[in-house]
Amino acid sequence: MKRILLCGIVWWGLTAIGVAEDEVQLETVPPVVVKTVPAAGAADVDPALGEIQVTFSKDMADKSWSWSTVSKESFPTTNGDIQYLDDKRTCVLPVKLEPGKTYALWLNSNKFKNFKDADGRPAVPYLLVFRTKK
């Protein structure tokens, strides 16, 4: 039963982003978030952390990103220029975090889709939420 449910979720997810079953190939599917620093759901992030990093499954288009707000209050104060690391997959957002605060931001969203792979495919939206230590 679990295998059938998992297959159904994967099929629904791929069709929801416009990929047919017979078209699933690594080169043609949209990029997805594979890692964030801090990790999603972390409740003990050091407020001295000076940057948020997101790593995607594919090489990304340079100077193209959508760090989007959930709310003005939950978006971190930025502190410098956004850039991709030399690996072309990790985007860095310099920030100034406050102690004891919950942050929430979208990496792409339904409205903003500028995180794109090198071929112009938008990344699947990802909600990053974390809390800093007091």
Residue 27 confidence (pLDDT): 87
**List of long-range contacts for 11-19, beta carbons under 8 Å, 24+ apart:** 17/124
Q: Mean pLDDT throughout 82-100? A: 98
| pLDDT reading at 86 higher than 90 | yes
Residue 43 confidence (pLDDT): 98
**CB-CB neighbours of 125 under 10 Å:** 20
pLDDT interval class at 18 (50, 70, 90) = low
**CB-CB neighbours of 106 under 10 Å:** 19
pLDDT interval class at 13 (50, 70, 90) = low
Amino acid at 100: G
Residue 26 confidence (pLDDT): 86
Q: Which of 7-11, 34-38, 85-89, 102-106 has the lowest mean pLDDT?
A: 7-11
CA distance 37 to 126: 13
| pLDDT reading at 6 higher than 60 | no
Residue 92 confidence (pLDDT): 98
Give the up-direction half-sphere exposure of residue 104: CA atoms within 13 A in the CB hemisphere: 8
Higher pLDDT, 20 or 92: 92
Q: What residues have CB less than 8 Å from 35, skipping those under 6 apart?
A: 53, 54, 55
Peptide bond into 76 cis (omega under 30): no
Q: What residues have CB less than 8 Å from 131, skipping those under 6 apart?
A: 42, 43, 44, 45, 100, 101, 102, 103
Q: Which of 15-29, 36-50, 104-118 has the lowest mean pLDDT?
A: 15-29
Q: Mean pLDDT throughout 89-110? A: 98
Q: For the full predicted model, state whether its pTM sits above 0.85.
A: no
The SS3 of residue 27 is coil
